[in-house]
């Protein structure tokens, strides 16, 4: 367990600890011995190797076809590009309300890397031409360098051409007509509809308004298909089919988006301080990271107590986080889950985690709480299981975020990311209420509506400055802390008569 590191060793992994430590050793070095609750993983962990992505120099004009949620797509793709060594530049054509974006990506390899991770983008294509009318598209295609086309149009190759129309359905005859109009392209290969070597797509954008579909497309594109995104993960990891779930288990799609915002990569260590049923560990483990978490709830960590499924009273014998990871063949990435209160970190000083990805309680479906002492004003004494009691006192939302940011600042590696959901009462929202810390840079802030007056924001922050003890509370003094004390009343506002009345009025209006 000690792995040769003293109780106050610096970041495990430095030469003071000898050879590079395994993920489990890094984790073990970080646990403060007096606070360890339990460490149950006996699995073997392979050694840590940093992931590198090759960057080629030639430019590839790619085009992504997106799923919904424009701002989250944008942030996901930005994060993934930077993970692969690329970056967004002024050359990208991002029209937030368009289902198609034009990106400049340094290589096809990078485009494939992006698509191996994204759940927001559907497909990526090498763009050969585009325009606001068929004429503009054909002119643009005639300008595309022939030497770039020829490798895919050889006489000994096979191909097929597809057409996709966004917000409009065409008849088969209309589709064939549009495909035939491309006969000026120097196709020399044979058409093979079943198993072609190269697939080309005509993509037509008829706008976003289903009640106002124009006769002609507002933009047309033609390109060579490169790769599809990972949207099938949303189905294969669906919470509905998951072994162990709770009332607040994180939706599979959002879990993958969060892991992508966190730029999780193989051999990382990812931590969730409000782990619940471990929904957020699963997506990180899928991307090859070692995962661990803590939660104040003994029953959740040990898979005991009442079941959240209909028609099932108690959790079954193998309903726990480990079983969830096993269900997806990811058990080898599971470090452990511990019972711990996030307001009292159990970790030794020193940077440990490559990413912290979490969904703190907002008090809507589960109460935020922390361990109380007998001396404190005790709100309740809960009997958790036969032998486990804890005294809980309420944990204000502002304190949860304050503690979370401080924890991230202290325990993330440099460049590591903190990704979490922040509940928002929309009428009072301004950017100022986003909690800040001098060691963490705000990377993105995307909204997901919960009701007409409430939403949650997916906040991504990156550690950009070493944590010094004097940073601990310094930012409380600079006036940034006061605004986010407003988060404390989120629960009251969510359930307030005002919100209910507005919701009722909206419902009445819809009738
Ligand atoms: C929104 S849920 C997280 C759900 C989780 N992402 C999942 O997929 O199941 C928040 C969790 O925070 C836990 N929690 C509440 N107060 C806590 C505290 N002080 N320390 C640690 N966990 C806490 C709750 O028990 C709950 O499981």
The answer to the question of residue 501 being in a domain is no
Band the pLDDT of 32: cuts 50, 70, 90. Answer: very low
Q: Residue 65 C-alpha to ligand 1 middle, in angstroms?
A: 35
**Ligand 1 pocket: which residues have CB below 6 Å?**
246, 248-250, 273-274, 276-277, 279-280, 294-297, 300, 341-343, 359, 361, 366, 368-370, 395
The pLDDT mean for the chain works out to: 78
Pairing between β-strand 60-66 and β-strand 121-131 as defined by DSSP bridges: antiparallel
Cα(297)–Cα(390) distance, integer angstroms: 9
Nearest to 256 by CA among 231, 292, 293: 231
Domain boundary among 201, 231, 261: 231
Report pLDDT digits (tens) over 188-206: 999 999 999 999 999 999 9
Q: Is 334 in the same domain as 373?
A: yes
Cα(216)–Cα(331) distance, integer angstroms: 52
How big is the chain by its Cα radius of gyration, in Å?
Answer: 26
Q: Is 476 in the same domain as 441?
A: yes
Q: Is 214 in the same domain as 348?
A: no
Residue 357 β-bridge partners: 419
Residue 227 β-bridge partners: 124
Q: How many domains does the chain have?
A: 2
Residue pair 21/13 in contact by the 8 Å Cβ criterion: yes
Pocket test for ligand 1, best of 273, 302, 361, 491 (most atoms within 8 A of CB): 361
The answer to the question of residue 48 being in a domain is no
Q: Is 332 in the same domain as 476?
A: yes
Of 386 and 37, which is predicted with more confidence? 386
Q: Which of 50-54, 83-87, 495-499 has the highest mean pLDDT?
A: 83-87
Band the pLDDT of 5: cuts 50, 70, 90. Answer: very low
Q: Is 203 in the same domain as 279?
A: no
Report pLDDT digits (tens) over 200-246: 999 999 988 899 999 999 999 999 999 999 989 999 999 999 988 88
The answer to the question of residue 482 being in a domain is yes
- Percentage of the chain beyond pLDDT 90 is 46
CATH for 398: 3.40.50.150
Q: Is 219 in the same domain as 361?
A: no
Domain boundary among 231, 246, 266: 231
Q: Is 226 in the same domain as 241?
A: no
Residue 105 β-bridge partners: 60
Domain boundary among 231, 251, 270: 231
Report pLDDT digits (tens) over 431-469: 888 999 999 999 999 888 888 888 899 999 999 999 987
From the number of C-beta atoms within 10 Å of its C-beta (0-12, 13-18, 19+), residue 34 rates as exposed
Q: Is 336 in the same domain as 454?
A: yes
Question: 101-110, 114-123, 209-218, 454-463: lowest mean pLDDT where?
Answer: 101-110
Q: Is 367 in the same domain as 488?
A: yes
Q: Is 169 in the same domain as 290?
A: no
Band the pLDDT of 314: cuts 50, 70, 90. Answer: confident
The answer to the question of residue 37 being in a domain is no
Question: 54-58, 453-457, 476-480, 489-493: lowest mean pLDDT where?
Answer: 54-58
Residue pair 252/298 in contact by the 8 Å Cβ criterion: no
- Supply φ then ψ for residue 399, to 5 degrees: -70, -35
- Percentage of the chain beyond pLDDT 70 is 69
Q: Is 312 in the same domain as 432?
A: yes
The answer to the question of residue 399 being in a domain is yes
The answer to the question of residue 120 being in a domain is yes
- Supply φ then ψ for residue 505, to 5 degrees: -60, -45
Nearest to 293 by CA among 305, 277, 307, 317: 277
Report pLDDT digits (tens) over 351-380: 689 999 999 998 655 556 666 654 444 444
Cα(397)–Cα(2) distance, integer angstroms: 35
Look up residue 161 and give its DSSP letter. E
Band the pLDDT of 12: cuts 50, 70, 90. Answer: very low
pLDDT at 274: 97
pLDDT at 230: 94
On the CB side of 228, how many CA atoms lie within 13 Å of its CA? Answer: 6
Q: Is 209 in the same domain as 248?
A: no
Q: Residue 273 C-alpha to ligand 1 middle, in angstroms?
A: 8
| Angle, CA of 467, 470 and 474, to the nearest 5° | 100
pTM of the model: 0.80
Nearest to 243 by CA among 292, 288, 276, 277: 277
Residue pair 395/343 in contact by the 8 Å Cβ criterion: yes
pLDDT higher than threshold 90 for residue 79: no
CATH for 160: 3.30.2130.30
Band the pLDDT of 412: cuts 50, 70, 90. Answer: very high
Buried b (16+ CB within 10 A) or exposed e, 113-143: bbbebbbbbbbbbbbbbbbeeeeebbebbee
The answer to the question of residue 9 being in a domain is no
Residue pair 334/41 in contact by the 8 Å Cβ criterion: yes
Pocket test for ligand 1, best of 249, 275, 422 (most atoms within 8 A of CB): 275
Report pLDDT digits (tens) over 249-271: 999 999 999 999 999 999 999 99
pLDDT at 510: 63
Range 37-62 average pLDDT: 25
pLDDT higher than threshold 70 for residue 286: yes
Residue pair 475/438 in contact by the 8 Å Cβ criterion: yes
Pocket test for ligand 1, best of 362, 366, 406 (most atoms within 8 A of CB): 366
Nearest CA to ligand 1 atom 25: 297
Report pLDDT digits (tens) over 137-192: 999 999 999 999 999 999 999 999 999 998 999 999 999 999 999 999 999 999 99
Domain that holds residue 253: 234-494
Nearest to 360 by CA among 311, 399, 321: 399
Place of tokens 């080309």: 200
Q: Residue 9 C-alpha to ligand 1 middle, in angstroms?
A: 29
Contacts of 273 (CB under 8 A, 6+ apart): 293, 294, 340, 342, 356, 358, 360, 404, 407
The answer to the question of residue 47 being in a domain is no
Q: Which atom of ligand 1 is nearest to the CA of 358?
A: 6
């Amino acid at each position: 367990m000690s792995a040769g590191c003293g109780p106050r060793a610096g970041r495990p992994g430095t030469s003071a600890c000898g050879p590079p430590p395994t993920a489990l050793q890094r984790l073990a070095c970080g646990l403060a011995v007096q606070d360890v609750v339990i460490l149950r993983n006996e699995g073997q962990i392979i050694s840590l190797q940093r992931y590198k992505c090759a960057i080629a120099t030639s430019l590839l004009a790619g085009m992504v076809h997106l799923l919904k949620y424009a701002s989250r797509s944008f942030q996901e793709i930005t994060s993934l590009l930077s993970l692969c060594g690329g970056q967004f530049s002024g050359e990208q054509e991002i029209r937030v309300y368009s289902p198609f974006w034009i990106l400049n990506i340094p290589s096809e390899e990078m485009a494939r890397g992006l698509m191996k991770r994204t759940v927001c983008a559907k497909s990526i294509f090498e763009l050969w031409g585009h325009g606001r009318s068929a004429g503009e598209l054909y002119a643009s295609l005639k300008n595309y360098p022939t030497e770039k086309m020829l490798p895919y149009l050889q006489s000994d190759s096979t191909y097929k051409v597809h057409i996709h129309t966004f917000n409009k359905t065409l008849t088969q005859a209309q589709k064939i007509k549009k495909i035939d109009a491309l006969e000026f392209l120097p196709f020399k290969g044979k058409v093979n509809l079943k198993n072609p070597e190269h697939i080309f797509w005509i993509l037509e954008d008829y706008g976003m308004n289903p009640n106002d579909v124009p006769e002609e497309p507002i933009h047309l594109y033609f390109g060579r298909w490169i790769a599809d995104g990972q949207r099938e993960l949303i189905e294969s990891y669906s919470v509905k089919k998951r072994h162990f779930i709770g009332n607040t288990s994180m939706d599979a799609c959002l879990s993958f988006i969060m892991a992508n915002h966190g730029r999780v990569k193989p051999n990382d260590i990812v931590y969730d301080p409000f782990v619940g049923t471990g929904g957020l560990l699963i997506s990180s483990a899928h991307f090859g990271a070692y995962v661990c978490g803590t939660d104040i709830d003994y029953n959740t960590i040990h898979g005991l107590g009442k079941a959240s499924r209909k028609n099932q009273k108690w959790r079954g014998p193998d309903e726990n986080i480990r079983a969830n990871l096993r269900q997806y063949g990811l058990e080898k990435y599971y470090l452990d889950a511990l019972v711990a209160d996030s307001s009292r970190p159990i970790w030794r000083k020193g940077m440990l985690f490559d990413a912290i990805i979490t969904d703190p309680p907002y008090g809507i479906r589960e109460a935020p709480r922390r361990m109380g002492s007998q001396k404190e004003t005790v709100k309740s004494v809960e009997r958790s299981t036969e032998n486990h009691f804890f005294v809980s006192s309420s944990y204000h939302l502002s304190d949860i975020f304050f503690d979370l940011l401080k924890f991230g600042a202290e325990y993330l590696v440099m460049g590591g990311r903190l990704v979490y959901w922040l509940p928002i009462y929309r009428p009072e929202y301004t950017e100022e209420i986003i909690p800040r810390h001098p060691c963490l840079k705000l990377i993105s802030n995307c909204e997901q509506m919960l009701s007409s007056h409430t939403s949650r924001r997916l906040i991504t922050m990156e550690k950009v400055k070493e944590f010094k003890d004097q940073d601990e509370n310094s930012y409380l003094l600079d006036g940034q802390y006061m605004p986010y004390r407003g988060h404390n009343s989120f629960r009251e506002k969510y359930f307030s008569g005002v919100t209910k009345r507005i919701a009722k009025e909206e419902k009445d209006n819809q009738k």
